[in-house]
Every structure is written in structure tokens, then in C-alpha cells.
Amino acid sequence: MWYSAGNCSNLQEIVLLPMTMKINRNMHFSGNGHLEAELAGGCPPMDGQILTAGPGPAVFLQKRRLAVSAVLVLLCLSLIVVYLARRPSLPGLTRQKTAPRPRAEKVRPIRVASTDELLQNLRSSNLWDIGEQSVVPPVLFANLPQDMSDLDVATKKRAFISTLLPISLIAINEVAQEKKTLLDILDRLDGTEDTLYFDEEADWPESISAPEIDFLRRLARKYRTNSIEKLQLRVDVVPVSLILAQGALESSWGGSRFAAEGNNLFGIYTWGDRGMIPANRAEGDLHKVASYDSLLDSVRAYLLMINRLPAYTSLRELRSRTESSMAIAEGLFSYSERRNSYIEDVKQIIDVNELQRFDSMELGENFLRQPADMPATIISSDRITNACI
């Protein structure tokens, strides 16, 4: 900054405090006639701390104008620097590197050997009293202990819900990210064609990048349709209360053999090599109960089955019109041979255990979603192909 010393009306000298400004004779200040004329006239450079005015008033006036002009130049430069420092980066010009945001696989799974260990982890993770809060810690249990049936009914129910709730929300989040990316890409497509083509002759808009085209290709393969309309119906979430209710019903609140040995919470069958043979399987039947590496894979398989099998077309149509788990449960007619009785059991579990209170809950902030500028990661269905889905 420049500061003046003395009375302005009788100014005899201009003092530079605390910094000096050196002006090159070759500098050009567009629009500043006084400064340009002064430099052209051979004004001595301002290398000293004090500029002494000449004996004539004209020289004094010129030097005063020079000082004021220099102050204005410095002020303008300062304002420009402040503006650029505070201005957000323009897209495409600079892209700051940010730490990768963790996805489901990056949440470290916890494997427990007993119910004592499970309950201890639930309490230390703030999951035991989850009903009193709306933010769910993203704690990922890999399995349920084999002694779940030894717990009393109330404790077993509470432990099952507290364990499965964050796992379900993580799986739901994965599908929600797929849907978000899908809708973002579809907004940039010509809406006159319902079928997605991925051959070499396919004509894609320039606004759709190669990674996004590959995303659509893998998504269409995963959900078994190239129809945009069907994709929008299939790539969607279900209420967490429905997941909890069906998991509880199919696994006896986590106490079944299939839950303990194969992490299968939903009674999903397979005809592949890997699986568990049911004790009551009729002679000649070849089906098995699918087994999974983790509880998360079991929930993923359940969501994929609901989202792509023709048997649950009515459920997906109901889901497109409502978010109520009680209403969506009506679409489970083909899930069990018990048909309507099964549906009523699911709805009763939701009602009696007040499971819909969990539908509005979200994962804690320390579970960061995938960056918005990247296509969602598609969880490969290869890891769950042992199931009949």
C-alpha cells in the first residue's frame, strides 16, 4: 500500500510505506494517460523510499497524479487476486484430486464367531439402540454366528435387525447409485428409441462418453434387458422394512441352518454346484439352497432377483407407484408356494415389529457415496450366479 505523509493541501513529499513499486519504462498502462505520459517524459524510477516534489507546481501535480494512479493499479490488482482466489474452478479447466470415496467393498467387514461377540460389536458400534436415531453407522457384518438360536426371542430379533439394517442400506445404496447414473445418462439420450444398441453401428450422442456407454452395456446385461422402459423399472430399490421382514421370515430371524452355514437369509435356490442340500428335499429334486460369501452378497442377490425375474413384474409395477412396503409386499405372490398366506406373514412381521420406522433411515456421513462425476460401480452378478436368479 502507499500512504501519504503530511497535509494533503501542502504536500511536499510522498512516502511509500511499507513497500516500494519499481516501474519499468517499457511498461504500458492502457488508458492511464498521466502515467504513460510521465514515463515517456523520463520520470526517474521510484527506487527510493521518498519522492521529493520538484520546485514547480506542475511537476508536483504530475507526481501526485502518478502516485494516485499507481495506488489505483495496485488496488485493482489486489481485487483481481482476491476474486480469483475465491472463485470456484471452472469445469474442464482444472480438476482437483480428491481422496477416493469408499464404496461398500471398502467398508471393512466384521466376522463374528459367537452371539456374545456379535452383541458386543453391536453395542460398541452404536447399533444396538438404532431405533432411537435416524443415522445408521455403516458397520458391515460378514456373517451371523451359528448360535443365534440360543438367544431369547426378543434379543434375537433385536440383534438380527441391528445387524441386517446397515447391510441392507449399503446394498440399497449400490442400486440407488446405479439408478442415479442411469437416469443421468438417459436424460442426454434421444427419447424416441426404447431399445439400447451396443453394436459398432450404434449412433450415440457426443454427450455420452465411452465409459457411460460401457456402463449401460453392463447394466443391461446385469438386469437382462435392453429396453430403457424396463431398465427404469428394474434398476430400483425396495424399502428396507421389506428386506428386514423377508429376511426374518426366511431365516427365522437369523437362526436357520442356511443363514449360519451359507449366509442365505432369503431362501434363494440354486441348481449350480455350490449350495446346501435341504434336509426335506424330495427324491429326484436337484435344487440346493444358495450359499454366499457374506450377508451383503445375500442381500444383493435378493435385490437382483426382485429386480429382474419375470415373477416379480407386478411387484416392480407396484413399486413404481408407491414406496410403502405393505403395498409392495402384495407383489410377492410368486415368492412362496404359500402365495397369499406368505404375503400376509410378511406384512404382519412389518406391522408387529414396526419395521417401517427404518425406511427413512440413512447411512452415517462417514459412508461417502460414489463421486457424482463418475458412473456408478456395477456389482457384478457373477459373484451370485450360483443362485437361481
Segments of the chain scoring below 50 in pLDDT? 1-54, 88-102, 369-372, 383, 386
Give the pLDDT score at 252: 98
Q: Which domains does the chain have, with CATH numbers?
A: 8-86 (no CATH), 107-384 (1.10.530.10)
3-state secondary structure the chain: CCCCCCCHHHCCEEECCCCCCCCCCCCCCCCCHHHHHHHHCCCCCCCCCEEECCCCHHHHHHHHHHHHHHHHHHHHHHHHHHHHHHCCCCCCCCCCCCCCCCCHHHCCEECCCCHHHHHHHHHHCCCCCHHHCCEECCCEECCCCCCHHHCCHHHHHHHHHHHHHHHHHHHHHHHHHHHHHHHHHHCCCCCCCCECCCCCCCCCCCCCCHHHHHHHHHHHHHCCCCEHHHHHHHCCCCCHHHHHHHHHHHHCCCCCHHHHHHCCCCCCEECCCCCECCCCCCCCCCCEECCCCCHHHHHHHHHHHHHHCHHHHHHHHHHCCCCCHHHHHHHCCCCCCCCHHHHHHHHHHHHHCCHHHHCCCEECCCCCCCCCCCCCCCCCHHHHCCCCC
Distance in Å from the first CA to the final CA of the chain: 74
Are the C-beta atoms of residues 129 and 137 closer than 8 Å to each other? Answer: no
Mean pLDDT score of the chain:
81
What CA–CA distance (Å, rounded) separates 70 from 3?
12
Angle of helix 240-251 relative to helix 295-308, nearest 10 degrees, comes to 110
Give the pLDDT score at 388: 52
Give the pLDDT score at 96: 34
Count of alpha carbons within 13 angstroms of residue 343, beta-carbon side: 13
Measured in whole angstroms, the distance separating CA 386 from the mean position of its chain's CA atoms is: 29
Dihedrals phi, psi of 136, to nearest 5 degrees:
-105, 125
How would you class 258 by CB atoms within 10 Å of its CB: exposed for 0-12, middle for 13-18, buried for 19 or more? buried
What CA–CA distance (Å, rounded) separates 386 from 277?
13
What CA–CA distance (Å, rounded) separates 170 from 26?
65
How would you class 76 by CB atoms within 10 Å of its CB: exposed for 0-12, middle for 13-18, buried for 19 or more? exposed
pLDDT in tens, 355-384: 999 999 999 866 654 444 555 667 765 545
